[in-house]
Amino acid sequence: MNISLEGSTLKSKAASKQVLVILGSPRKKGNSSTLAARISRGAKSTGAEVETLFLQNLKISPCRGCDTCQTHDSRGCAIKDDMQEIYPKLIKADAWVIASPVYWFTMSAQTKIFMDRCYALPAYAKNPFADKRIAIAMSYGDIDAVRSGCVNALRTFQDAFRYAGSKIVGMVYGSAMKAGEIADNEVLMREAEELGKLLISR
């Protein structure tokens, strides 16, 4: 009976939690996306609402470095593209899941452009990174996380969110080549699902 009550309490507590999943792979059903889906499943199992964005289908231009977003009276990013619709979603969400494959020893171009454009997020809300809970999911083709360059991307995420004041709750990453192949790694899949549950619990 106690276990049942605790489960009900957790689900009720998470019911209002919002998770935004950012897929940075050009393959919608690639390995990093497969990991992100398992994280999402864990979050949903405890009552969170999950929305997924597939960056490859969106028009997001690189940051121009114009600093329009940094002025005291800024109205936001000067680039009018699909990122304008993402900013309010980022602000509203309690947690983010960022998924990317390793491309040329770091995160994918789609993911990096997204990260660069987050530079303008403070123009849309006060302290928008504060209290955000972050999960990172990555896949790489080599058998080694260091040699593949995965650690380069992980360190970038760590540095960026430490600076911004967000909390990285956890990172899941593993080796796979063919799209979806990472699903065969049952241990990693379970870790991803547990991360999803942890992501929205406080």
Domain ranges of the chain: 15-199
H helices within the chain, ranges in order? Answer: 2-14, 31-45, 83-92, 109-117, 145-148, 150-164, 186-199
Q: Output the pLDDT for position 173.
A: 98
- Residue 30 makes CB contacts below 8 A (sequence gap 6+) with 101, 139, 179, 180
Q: Which two tokens stand for residue 92?
A: 């509203």
- Residue 85 makes CB contacts below 8 A (sequence gap 6+) with none
pTM of the predicted structure, to 2 decimals: 0.91
Read off the pLDDT band of 5 (50, 70, 90).
Answer: very low
pLDDT average, residue stretch 8-29: 78
| pLDDT exceeds cutoff 50 at 69 | yes
| pLDDT exceeds cutoff 70 at 7 | no
Is the alpha carbon torsion for 43, 47, 48, 51 positive or negative?
A: positive
Q: What is the CA radius of gyration of the chain?
A: 17
Q: What's the chain's average pLDDT?
A: 93
| pLDDT exceeds cutoff 90 at 9 | no
| pLDDT exceeds cutoff 70 at 8 | no
**Exposed/middle/buried for residue 117 (C-beta within 10 Å: 0-12, 13-18, 19+):** buried
The C-alpha angle 166, 185, 177, rounded to 5 degrees, equals: 85
CB-based contact 28:54 (threshold 8 Å): yes
Query: Which CATH homologous superfamily contains domain 15-199?
Result: Flavodoxin domain (3.40.50.360)
pLDDT average, residue stretch 45-52: 97
| pLDDT exceeds cutoff 80 at 4 | no
Residues 88-126: pLDDT tens digits? Answer: 999 999 999 999 999 999 999 999 999 999 999 999 999
Read off the pLDDT band of 16 (50, 70, 90).
Answer: confident
CB-based contact 183:155 (threshold 8 Å): no
